[in-house]
Amino acid sequence: MFKTIIRAAAICGALITLSACATGAVPTAMVVSPNDAIVVAPGAPGYHQLKVASVGGGSETNPLWMSDVSNDAFKTALEASLQGVAYLSDDPTKANLQVTAAMVDLKRPMAGLDMSVTSTVRYTVAPVAGGAPVFDETIAATGTARFGEALAAVERLRKANEASIKANITLFIQHLEASLKSDGPH
């Protein structure tokens, strides 16, 4: 009798986990806070000079398949992150530099207890008026969601996607800051 109850509970748990629908990455979970990256000081290169021109390579999530990162969600997270560290211009028409981000790859596991996702994104920062980019780099970053964070695998995958994109944006901000400092004010 006890084995039957345990078996029924295990089957119910498995069915609940399998029946969960995949959801797309949530922008707020991918935003880099000022505590995660250096905040640009007034007068520093890039201070309030950037706008996000375009984001590509992302995909909408198919609820019957795997969590993904949409272009809109990625762009929202990138803009909020740049705003939080004082790179984003308050008025996009007054920005001197424009960012384009192209998601090259999003390596996701099919299953697992702890899930790690690696995102690869090419970032280009160029003068709005035209000319050679001041920054052009492809950045890869990994984010992990542990089994304890979510019972459903689709939920862990979404969290791993978000952690990966957040880590990617963090590295972008760090690399951009170093690049702008070495190149001088723009």
Burial status of residue 111 (CB atoms within 10 A of its CB: 0-12, 13-18, 19 or more) = exposed
Q: Does the global pTM surpass 0.95?
A: no
Phi then psi dihedrals of residue 149, to 5 deg: -80, -25
Phi then psi dihedrals of residue 127, to 5 deg: -60, 140
Per-residue model confidence (pLDDT) at position 186? 43
CA distance 159 to 30: 9
Per-residue model confidence (pLDDT) at position 47? 94
Q: For the chain, 186 residues long, give each residue's pLDDT as a single digit of tens.
A: 656 656 544 444 443 444 468 887 788 889 998 887 788 899 999 999 999 999 998 888 667 777 778 999 999 999 999 999 999 999 999 999 999 999 999 998 877 789 999 999 999 999 999 999 999 999 999 999 998 888 888 889 899 999 999 999 999 999 999 999 886 544
Query: Which residue in the block uniquely carries the two structure tokens 């890039």?
Result: 46
Per-residue model confidence (pLDDT) at position 53? 96
Contacts 24+ apart (CB under 8 A), 107-112: 108/66, 108/67, 108/157, 108/160, 108/161, 109/157, 110/66, 111/153, 112/153, 112/156
Query: All domains of the chain, ordered by start, with CATH?
Result: 22-183 (3.40.50.10610)
